[in-house]
Amino acid sequence: MKNIFTIIILLFITVACKKEQVEVSNDIEILTFSNDDASTFIDEIVANADGKVIYIDNWATWCAPCKAEFKEASPALHEKFKEDVEFIYLCHASKEATYLPSIEEYNIKGKHYFLTDQQASIVQQQLNLIGFPTYTIYDKKGNQVLSDYIHRPSHGPTSDILTKLINDEVVDMTNSTP
C-alpha cells in the first residue's frame, strides 16, 4: 500500500512538473550570462553580437505597452532585420514563473535573458532606464546610440536608424530621428 501511494505521488509530481515546462520555437534563445556580475552583462551582449547592430528590448511581463509591441511590431521588425541586427530581450522586474510563458505566448524571437531584481538594478543604471519598455540600440562597434521609449518597434524612425547603422551611416540623434 505504501508503494502504491509513493508511485501515485511521484506520478502526480511528474505530471505537475511537465505542465510547467515551456517549449519555445527555434528562433527563440533562452540564455544566461557567463557569470553573475551584472556589471559585465552589457559588455557580454556586445561581445557576442559579432559586429552586428544590437537592439535591446527592456521589458517586464506585467507591462501592457511591452505586450502591445510584441503582438505585431516586434515580429515585423525582427523579420525585416533578422540577418543584420542582434535582437536581445532583457526581462526586468518580473516573476521568473511568468517569464517563459510570456515569451511563448507572444512568440518573441531573439535572445532572451531574465534578470533578477539585483541584476536589473545594475543594468538599468548602465542603460539609463527609467521605465518599461525602454529600447536600447548599439552600433556595430558596440557604442550605445540611444536608450529610450520612443524608438520602439512600431515607431517608423526606428527602422530608419537600424538601416543607417547597418550601412555604417552616421545617425544624427539631435532631433531623435535619422
How far apart, in Å, do the first and last CA atoms of the chain sit? 73
H or E element that contains 30: strand 28-31
Find out whether 45 and 88 touch, Cβ atoms under 8 Å: yes
Q: Cell digits for 15?
A: 505530471
φ/ψ of residue 144, rounded to 5: -70, 125
Read off the pLDDT band of 12 (50, 70, 90). Answer: very low
Q: What per-residue confidence (pLDDT) applies to 172?
A: 81
Tell me the pLDDT tens digit for each residue of 23-78.
Answer: 557 789 999 999 999 999 999 999 999 999 999 999 999 999 999 999 999 999 99
Read off the pLDDT band of 164 (50, 70, 90). Answer: very high
Q: Which residue did the predictor score with more confidence, 92 or 2? A: 92
Q: What per-residue confidence (pLDDT) applies to 104?
A: 95
Q: What per-residue confidence (pLDDT) applies to 13?
A: 40
Domain 25-166 has CATH 3.40.30.10: yes
Tell me the pLDDT tens digit for each residue of 103-124.
Answer: 999 999 999 999 999 999 999 9
Supply the pTM of this predicted model.
Answer: 0.84
